[in-house]
Amino acid sequence: MSPIYDRVKNLLVDKFGVPADDISPEATFEDLDLDSLDLVEFALAAEEDLGVRITDDEAADLKTLSDTVALLEAKGASV
């Protein structure tokens, strides 16, 4: 996978306590037991960690980790 995917995975494990074995590109935030508040917190953590801005509308549209990584890459996230 990409370096951005690895950073997203690490954020989920380190800051949200998601078991690494549960994380896959096809996993949804719901699959990972993250609610809408967690998604907002995740977006803020990703912004800080990766140096990009994620709007509320963009965050609401994120369904899978692949979607998330694609958005972050399109926004020029740096690792």
For the entire predicted model, the pTM comes to 0.90
- Residue 1 is predicted with a pLDDT of 76
Domain count, the chain: 1
The reply to whether 79 falls in a domain is no
The reply to whether 25 falls in a domain is yes
Q: Mean pLDDT by 10-residue block, N- to C-terminus, for the chain (79 residues)?
A: 94 97 96 93 94 92 94 90
Residue 25 belongs to domain with CATH number: 1.10.1200.10
| Cβ atoms 27, 8 nearer than 8 A | no
Q: Which domain holds residue 54?
A: 3-74
Dist CA 39 CA 51 (whole Å): 17
- Residue 56 is predicted with a pLDDT of 87
Q: Which residue type does 53 have?
A: R
